[in-house]
Chains A and B, each alone.
Chain A
Amino acid sequence: MTARPLYLALFSVLYLFSCKQHPAEHKNINHVLAKKSVSQSDLPREFAEHISTKETHVLKDSLKNIELLIANREQKISRFPCSDCHNPDKQLSQLENPHKEIILNHGNNGKVTSCQNCHGEKTNKASLYSLEGENISYNHVYELCGQCHYKAQRDWVGGSHGKRLSGWGEKRVQQNCTGCHNPHSPLMPHKWPVIQPQSHEVAHD
């Protein structure tokens, strides 16, 4: 008889102190990090060519004060800018489709994602589009990827995911998501190792 209030008290205590689902956990990187333009002189010398002043942003983590520069993507895209073809003056149907080599193998073998998820339904292909329809430049593709892969994005800013292009003692330059991952088929490919392993003289474990 006396056990019922005890159970109730225990239950309410458990409820009060239990872990809760935060619906806003996958919030966009913009909410956590602030962009700021940097001057050319701030950039590490060997990367200055790859990161132009007007397109570079510094992400500033409000909690840990992490500053990092992001490697650009646009000049590495062979058919950029897209408006060379995707403009009202050209009849796209008359051209051979240059994107036909793309195999979409992203998100459960391509069943989940479609071209429109990232490239949008608009005719202007100069940028990517977020799920809410906002423009995202190819240089800031991490904002797009972070909509689903928010844990990877958090670790990418922190430094446990992704690749640092500069040395430990230089200003931090971080590779963009699409610098390593093929966005249409993001898993790392199968290939042969580049060197033959050493034959060990001693079994020493």
Chain B
Amino acid sequence: MTNILSSPDKDGAMAKRELFKKWFGHLFPELPGQKPSSTCSCAGSTDTSCPSSEEVELNRRQALTTMAGFLGGATLTLAAPNLNGATTEEEKSLRFDEYFRKNYREMSQQEKMQTIERLERLSQIKYGVNAQISSQEAKKNVLFGYAFNISKCKGYMECVSACVKENNQDRNSNLQYITIHEMENGNMQLHSSNKQIVHEVPLDGHFYMGTQCFHCENPPCTKVCPVGATWKEEDGIVVVDYDWCIGCRYCEAACPYFGRRFNWAEPQIPKEEMNPTQHYLGNRPRSKGVMEKCTFCIQRSRDGKNPACVEACPTGARVFGNLLDPNSEIRYILENKKVFRLKEELGTEPKFWYYMDG
């Protein structure tokens, strides 16, 4: 009798722990009560009064966090995913499964494949586009770096246009990752720059300076994320898991360079302009209420190509490469040119250098 009574309880505890691990595992890497049960003196006993190993290990603090976790998990389980706009049963089912998936960093290879399969099908349903979503990981011995020649940039904004097309950005709000600052010669105050360039360029007596996400080696934006939806990858690219982001915009506030963008409305991209070569952490279409930003075109750079902005620049003011390769152009620039970074005193260590000719 006791066995029959205790087993559902144990199963329930296991399920709760699984749920806790699934939702909060990335925040608490060491889950409470994970010692093997063999340490329990009464292992194998059927006596229900004997406390299980988990209960023995729990102290007050752990109990409270676990309880908070259970409560949070229960609330989230009760809260139905937003399936507004889903027309077919298939779409509803796919979106439901997507809603209850893990954080990308906790997924196994198989789970990544499953989620990508769902996203590709959803892209077909929603946009009528056969997208190929990659989950390619960072290469070994690669650390990406970027250099920007302020003597060469003429403010043509070819980079911005290429970026918008490559990264499937919202055309309605004219969302852009790159800002081109028009600065008076001798002035280095970014706040007094002209960001609304509506005249022929280059303007005499001015120089141009592009800002975007600098992929800091010590990024303040990832530290403030309350849910662990943004992080720095092995090759130095700071990425966002768009489907884990809760849209609190803490990261946007923490970034000292205005590198992050928020989707105030559902992004609109014409079907014929959609770029089908996508990466999970890169240019796949985002939804309303999430953060996004430059990813050094992760779908291109991890494939050995240059980001779209570098390829589009007609003046060669943008240089991209591997900082760990001593023969790369970026290393030549760092070794031979006068370089500087923005707001160096903050200690964010951006991997984005400005340099000038001479």
Contacts and interface: CB of A to CB of B under 8 A. Distances in A.
Interface of A: 64-66, 151-152, 155, 158-164, 167-170, 175, 180, 188, 190-205
B195 A168 contact: no
B301 A168 contact: yes
Contacts of B156: 191, 193-194
B313 A160 contact: no
Contact of B315 (A65, A160, A188, A202): A188
Interface stretch (B16-24, B26-34, B50-58, B317-325): B317-325
Given A160-B332, A198-B179, A180 B314 contact: yes
B174 interface: yes
B210 to A, nearest CB: 11
A198 B357 CA distance: 29
A199 B329 contact: no
Interface string B166-210: 000000011110011000000000110001111111100000000
A197 B328 contact: no
A197 B160 CA distance: 8
Contact of B202 (A161, A188, A201): A188
Contact of B313 (A163, A168, A198, A199): A163
A43 to B, nearest CB: 15
Contacts of B316: 161-164, 175, 180
Q: Interface size class for chain B?
A: 35 or more
A41 B326 CA distance: 25
A160 B337 contact: yes
A175 B161 CA distance: 22
Contacts of B152: 161
Contact of A196 (B174, B319, B357): B174
B157 interface: yes
Contacts of A66: 327
B155 interface: yes
B355 interface: yes
A198 B155 contact: no
A56 to B, nearest CB: 20
Given A155-B357, A199-B174, A65 B201 contact: no
B197 A197 contact: yes
10 contacts: A64-B332, A66-B327, A151-B358, A160-B333, A162-B316, A180-B316, A193-B157, A195-B157, A200-B258, A205-B190
B304 interface: yes
B303 to A, nearest CB: 8
A97 to B, nearest CB: 30
A13 B147 CA distance: 40
**Interface of B (DSSP majority class):** loop
Interface string B292-317: 00000000110111100010011110
Nearest to B330: A159
Given A188-B202, A197-B179, A159 B306 contact: no
Given A170-B304, A188-B202, A193-B155, 17 more contacts: A158-B332, A162-B316, A164-B329, A167-B300, A167-B303, A168-B305, A168-B321, A180-B314, A194-B160, A195-B160, A197-B176, A197-B197, A197-B198, A198-B173, A198-B176, A199-B196, A205-B190
A205 B180 contact: no
B149 interface: yes
B102 interface: no
A167 B262 CA distance: 30
Nearest to B177: A198
Contacts of B258: 200, 202, 204-205
B329 to A, nearest CB: 2
B133 interface: no
Would you list the 8 A-B pairs with minimal beta carbon distance, nearest first? A159-B329, A169-B304, A167-B305, A163-B316, A205-B191, A158-B332, A193-B157, A198-B176
A197 B321 contact: no
B336 interface: yes
A191 B306 contact: no
A190 B179 contact: no
B200 A192 contact: yes
B154 interface: yes
Interface in B100-151: 147, 149
Contacts of A158: 329, 332-333, 336
A203 B191 contact: yes
Contacts of B190: 205
Contacts of B200: 190-192
Given A160-B333, A197-B179, A198-B176, A168 B320 contact: yes
Contacts of B237: none
A159 B195 contact: no
